[in-house]
Copies of this chain bind each other. A is one copy, B any other.
Amino acid sequence: MTTAAEPPVASRRGRPGYDQDAVLDVAVAVFNEHGFDATPISALADRLGLSKSALYHHFDSKEQLLGVALEEALGALEGVLVEPGATEGTATERLAFVLRGAVRVLVARLPYVTLLLRVRGNSAVERSALERRRAFDHAITALVREAQAEGSVRADIEASVATRLVFGMVNSIVEWYRPTGPEGADELAGDVLAVALDGLRTR
């Protein structure tokens, strides 16, 4: 993907030129390659084969573009928490479901979630995203605490630490997983659950 510009003809809603989603996809990819702050608008323009000004027809500012991208990632992640599997069954079952769901979303929206996980709070948009990530984390921590109360998750590790460690593992997937490889999303989710719940050691 170092060449410029797929034909704008193939745009999703059949209109000429790029539509907003197509621009967003490319922008997110380029942001992930160089880092959001290190990516000039001109880099997006080059990749799309457009001028900078043409891009400003599609969005108001670089920051707004980031906001739309982060919303996509956050919405998908938050969606997992309201699926039936996340609200029915034992705490451990729900925890396993949410872990699988997080891996599923992460793989399905890899570039968007990657961008989200690299946000550091440099602007209002970024701080708002961090706030929603924190809320997501808190929901999972509550689930872990419930599972500990059930007796199905070890209680000798604080729930907040256990959550952070396991989600650190999940989130790190964006650093190396590529959907083209030999391992599918389901297999990957299975590996994550195996390590998180049962560990690497044989018995």
Contact = CB atoms under 8 A, between A and B. Distances in A.
Contacts of A191: 157, 161-162, 165
Contacts of A176: 164
A197 B162 CA distance: 14
A197 B201 contact: yes
A38 interface: yes
A11 interface: no
Contact of A153 (B118, B161, B171, B201): B201
A88 interface: no
A16 B38 CA distance: 35
A154 B201 contact: yes
Nearest to A156: B194
A201 B154 CA distance: 6
A37 interface: yes
A29 interface: no
Nearest to A117: B175
Listed residue (A154, A169, A194) with the most chain B CB atoms within 10 angstroms of its CB: A169
A89 to B, nearest CB: 15
User: Secondary structure at chain A's binding surface: helix, strand, loop or mixed?
Assistant: helix
A77 B151 CA distance: 37
A183 B158 CA distance: 10
Give the one of A122, A154, A171 with max B CB within 10 A.
A154
A166 B168 CA distance: 9
A201 B195 CA distance: 10
A87 B195 CA distance: 25
A98 B63 CA distance: 41
A196 B195 CA distance: 6
A175 to B, nearest CB: 7
A165 B161 contact: no
A158 B201 CA distance: 14
Contacts of A38: 37-38, 120, 122
